[in-house]
A = this chain, B = another copy of it.
Amino acid sequence: MSKLRMGMVGGGEGAFIGEVHRIAAAIDGEIELVCGAFSSDPERAKRSGQALYLAPERVYSDFRQMMESEAALPENERMQFVAIVTPNHLHFPVAEAALKAGFHVMSDKPATLNLEEALKLKTLLEETGLLYGLTHTYTGYPLVKEARARVAEGKLGKIRKVVVEYPQGWLAEAPEDDIWRLDPAKSGCSSCMGDIGVHAANLAEFVTGLEITEICADLTSFVEGRVLDDDGSVLLRFNNGAKGVLMASQVSVGEENALKIRVYGETAGLEWSQQEPNTLWLKYNDKPTEMLRTGYGYLGEMATTYTRTPHGHPEGYLEAFANLYVAFAEQVRAREEGREPAESAIDLPGIDAAVRGMTFIELAVAASASDVKWQPFPVN
């Protein structure tokens, strides 16, 4: 047996998220990057490939060419899946090309430029039967998995209230350089909701196992001249009667990447913060608050499976990201070996999360523009 072979589209020199995907894929020694279309600029693509020690003939500047060439290689040489790490507007075209060429897809989020593409993607996946993973990174943290498990086991009682927030400060000023996330043609209809609000919504549903059924939104573009939202607050209603608040912001000066979720049930509450990801708080009215920490024996199977080091050895964002690749790799292996994937691989966000995410983004924008208070969350 050998490592899984991965190709990559996007992520040339200097790109943040491409490097994150490469580290995440490499960290556990299960996946090997074998080819890439890192840039449509041939020189940049070439330099990127060299820096990654790739064989020059497997470095492409056209993703369609890559699909074609790789598909023509012998089965035990060609890539087995594609990681898509481009700006949003290319997610769908690349995924489409990959699926049509027979390759599984691991995609950065949001899944597509708009909901319409997400629905097309869903259809394509159904037609091809291929695998699709969506990197909602924060679902990869062991203690997020623990939180989800505790809620599922009823440890909090019926869920009543969900508060999820995702403040950042990096777009508080008009940036000097081009930021593709602020360009509707590349980013879609939303900046703040599209980049981070969608993570928050996904996390709320992932942890609680609930579905958002209605929202009321107020999005804002605080920086003059900005077309897309850079801040938004959303009231949520869930399918079990729970209520919630989702806040996301790119203009909360001094905030880093402060995703945080709090869930309150009838008998207990929980709290998790991405910037201190190895701590999960469980709260009660009648006994001391419990501080759960990654790596301890008292955690459940999912949290344990996705932890590499003993407690007290902090794992972070890259390990969480890698956990998504672990799950996706297991799905690919299982497919190739004709077996069911391990239980632990099943919670990787896929096309359903993709569709719900794009729905959320478009709905938040529409709801904010509307005078009607509550907007139903459509089921696609």
Q: Which residues of A contact B (CB under 8 A)?
A: 1-3, 16, 19-20, 22-23, 26-29, 33, 50, 52-53, 156, 160-161, 163, 165, 167-170, 172-173, 216, 218, 220, 222, 231, 233, 235, 237, 243-245, 247, 249, 251-258, 262, 264-269, 274-278, 282-293, 295-298, 308-319, 370-374
Tell me if B285 and A292 are in contact (CB < 8 A): no
Tell me if B314 and A314 are in contact (CB < 8 A): yes
- A-B CB contact pairs (8 Å), 10 listed: A23-B28, A167-B262, A172-B264, A216-B216, A233-B244, A256-B293, A256-B311, A288-B290, A313-B317, A318-B319
Q: How far is the CA of A218 from the CA of B370 in the complex (A)?
A: 17
Quick one: closest B residue to A310, CB to CB? B16
Q: How far is the CA of A245 from the CA of B236 in the complex (A)?
A: 13
Tell me if A269 and B254 are in contact (CB < 8 A): yes
Tell me if A52 and B29 are in contact (CB < 8 A): yes
Partner of A283, one of B16, B163, B169: B169
Q: How far is the CA of A78 from the CA of B317 in the complex (A)?
A: 34
For the complex of A and B, the 3 pairs showing the least CB-CB separation, nearest first, are A254-B283, A257-B312, A256-B312
Question: CB-CB < 8 A to A156: which residues of B?
Answer: 253
Q: How far is the CA of A244 from the CA of B251 in the complex (A)?
A: 13
Partner of A293, one of B251, B267, B288, B374: B288
Tell me if B258 and A163 are in contact (CB < 8 A): no
Q: How far is the CA of A231 from the CA of B245 in the complex (A)?
A: 12
A158 to chain B, nearest CB (A): 9
Q: How far is the CA of A256 from the CA of B26 in the complex (A)?
A: 28
Known: A29-B53, A254-B282, A316-B319. 11 other contacts (CB 8 A): A19-B308, A26-B26, A26-B27, A27-B318, A231-B243, A252-B264, A253-B266, A256-B295, A258-B312, A289-B291, A309-B317
Question: CB-CB < 8 A to A220: which residues of B?
Answer: 160, 243
Q: How far is the CA of A168 from the CA of B161 in the complex (A)?
A: 12
Question: CB-CB < 8 A to A310: which residues of B?
Answer: 16, 170, 256-257
Contact A27 to B16, CB < 8 A, known contacts A269-B254, A289-B291:
no
Q: How far is the CA of A253 from the CA of B267 in the complex (A)?
A: 7
Tell me if B253 and A265 are in contact (CB < 8 A): yes
Q: How far is the CA of A257 from the CA of B311 in the complex (A)?
A: 7
Question: CB-CB < 8 A to A237: which residues of B?
Answer: 218
Question: CB-CB < 8 A to A318: which residues of B?
Answer: 27, 308-309, 313, 315, 318-319
A215 to chain B, nearest CB (A): 11
Q: How far is the CA of A317 from the CA of B317 in the complex (A)?
A: 12
